[in-house]
Amino acid sequence: MPSWLPELVNVSPWTQSTYDMLYEIFCRDIRDHNLRYIGNQVLILRDIEYGKEAIFWHLTTRIVKVKKIPRRKRKFYPEDQEIVAEERLPDLRRCERLSWIKPLIEHPCDPEIFAWDYQEGDLTIKTYIWFKDEEFAVIMKKYPNGRQRLITSFYIDKPYKREDFRRKYENRIQ
The phi and psi torsions of 100 (rounded to 5 degrees) equal: -85, -20
What is the per-residue pLDDT for 30?
A: 97
75, part of any domain: yes
Number of Cβ within a 10 Å radius of residue 106: 17
Q: Is residue 122 assigned to a domain?
A: yes
For 10-62, give the DSSP string: ---S--TTHHHHHHHHHIIIIISS--EETTEEEE----EETTEEHHHHHHHEE
Asked whether residue 7 is domain-assigned, the answer is: no
* Interatomic CA distance for residues 123 and 172, integer angstroms: 13
The answer to whether residue 130 sits within a structural domain is: yes
φ, ψ of residue 42 to 5 degrees: the values are -110, 120
* pTM over cut 0.95: no
Domain presence at residue 118: yes
Instruction: Indicate the number of domains in the chain.
Output: 1
Q: Is residue 22 part of a domain?
A: yes
Domain with 116 in it: 18-170
Mean pLDDT by 10 residues, the chain (174 residues): 94 92 97 95 93 95 77 76 75 97 96 96 96 96 96 94 96 92
In a domain, 47, yes or no: yes
Residue 2 within a domain: no
